[in-house]
């Protein structure tokens, strides 16, 4: 009798096989981007983690951007067949599999040595764009080698030395990059106080503080010290603080005349990133941009800057339905992406969200980031009662607090 009872219960019990690989084990427990952030914080030294996680001054811009996505209300349709939802869309006329790309991020290999090579390769496999920063830690040519069939984009900070800028533009063209992203909200470096307090340098310096911080994170340091030294997209080497490097690169004299010049010398697609006003959005399009990118640099430049998601409806109204509008800052969930598209964006980009995955697990962590976002996006689409990005409309989302 007892054996019969046990056999009845036994079929209800399922024992999970233990995951012996520590990286796979920790990634298997991540179900949200915030989970990846928690893992990244545990395994990454404070300096690199804070460089990714932090923003300017009091970090008000970043916190407002995240709150803006939380402070919305969806208005779903009911009784719709949503058996086969698709996330496919286009970016400036070219098909992409997901409505989100990997935004340009600086010092990426400092977060994990897999860096841009792994991230661009993942983007290629997913059929989404990858953007290499001027302050990236892998060369233009090496990204092209890592993702030869991917949609690679180069993000340009206009240098004081225009010849150096022209060299970068020429290298991106020669490497077959699809487009150029001109960043226009970085006349000087923002006050990134976490970096100042951490004394962050590039490469990281082995001070007493960093050594003590590294003790519980030996895997990161072993990885960093045994892999090839950091190389940069735009210069041979650097040995100083992050702010010093940024102020060396950024040109505070840049104007719309420079945008016109870049339009003349670059034959591919051109995005203008860092637009924060309706009138500037219109002017950027007038001066040659193929698309405008609403961004406050992830809250890393001017604190209390406009929240791109909040600005979006006004810009869409001004530019009309035919202009292409991209958006970033504050995206931590697939529903954030769907909300942005419903409110009028054509495409979105993530920076921190994928870097949390990179820190948490290298290439596999980046794959996990997009696995999480993809499932969240599909679920949100279906719960809204639509089967595709193209069916989204402004009536499906509203801001609770104007």
Q: Annotated catalytic sites, by residue?
A: 297
Strands (E), 225-280: 240-241, 269-275
Q: Are 138 and 170 in contact (CB under 8 A)?
A: no
Burial 299-309 (b: 16+ CB within 10 A, else e): bbbbbebbbbb
The runs of H, that is alpha helices, within 71-207 are 108-111, 115-126, 140-146, 162-174, 193-198
Q: How far is CA 279 from CA 259, 298, 326, 346, in A?
A: 16, 21, 16, 19
d(CA 248, CA 188): 9
- Which residue in the block uniquely carries the two structure tokens 């233009």? 140
**Nearest residue to 309 via CA among 204, 400, 233:** 400
Burial 89-116 (b: 16+ CB within 10 A, else e): bebbeeebebbbbbbbbbbbbbbbbbbb
Beta carbons within 8 Å of 216's beta carbon, 6+ residues apart: none
d(CA 353, CA 365): 10
């Amino acid at each position: 009798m007892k054996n019969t009872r046990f056999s009845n219960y036994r079929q209800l019990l399922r024992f999970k096989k233990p995951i012996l690989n520590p990286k796979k084990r920790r990634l298997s427990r991540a179900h949200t981007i915030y989970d990846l952030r928690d893992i990244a914080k545990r395994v990454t030294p404070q300096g690199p983690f804070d460089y990714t996680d932090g923003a300017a001054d009091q970090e008000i811009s970043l916190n407002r951007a995240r709150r803006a996505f939380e402070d919305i209300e969806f208005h779903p349709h009911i009784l719709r067949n949503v058996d086969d939802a698709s996330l496919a869309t286009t970016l400036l006329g070219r098909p992409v599999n997901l409505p989100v790309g990997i935004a340009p991020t600086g010092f990426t290999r400092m977060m994990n040595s897999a860096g841009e090579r792994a991230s661009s390769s993942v983007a290629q496999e997913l059929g989404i764009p990858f953007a290499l920063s001027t302050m990236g830690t892998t060369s233009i040519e090496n990204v092209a080698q890592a993702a030869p069939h991917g949609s690679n984009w180069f993000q340009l900070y206009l240098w004081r030395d225009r010849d150096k800028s022209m060299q970068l533009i020429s290298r991106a063209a020669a490497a077959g990059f699809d487009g150029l992203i001109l960043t226009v909200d970085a006349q000087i470096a923002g006050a990134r106080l976490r970096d100042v307090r951490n004394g962050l340098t590039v490469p990281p310096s082995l001070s007493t503080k960093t050594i003590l911080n590294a003790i519980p994170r030996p895997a990161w340091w072993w990885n960093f010290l045994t892999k090839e030294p950091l190389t940069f997209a735009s210069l041979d080497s650097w040995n100083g603080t992050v702010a010093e490097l940024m102020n060396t690169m950024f040109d505070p004299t840049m104007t719309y005349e420079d945008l016109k010049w870049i339009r003349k010398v670059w034959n591919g697609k051109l995005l203008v990133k860092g637009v924060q006003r309706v009138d500037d959005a219109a002017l950027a399009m007038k001066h040659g941009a193929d698309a405008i990118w609403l961004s406050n640099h992830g809250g890393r430049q001017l604190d209390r800057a406009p929240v791109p998601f909040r600005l979006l409806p006004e810009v869409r109204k001004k530019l009309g339905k035919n202009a292409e509008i991209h958006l970033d800052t504050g995206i931590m969930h697939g529903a954030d992406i769907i909300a942005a598209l419903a409110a009028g964006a054509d495409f979105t980009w993530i920076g921190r969200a994928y870097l949390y995955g990179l820190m948490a697990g290298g290439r596999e962590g980046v794959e996990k980031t997009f696995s999480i976002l993809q499932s969240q996006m599909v679920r949100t689409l279906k719960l809204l009662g639509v089967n595709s990005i193209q069916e989204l409309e402004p009536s499906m989302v509203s801001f609770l607090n104007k």
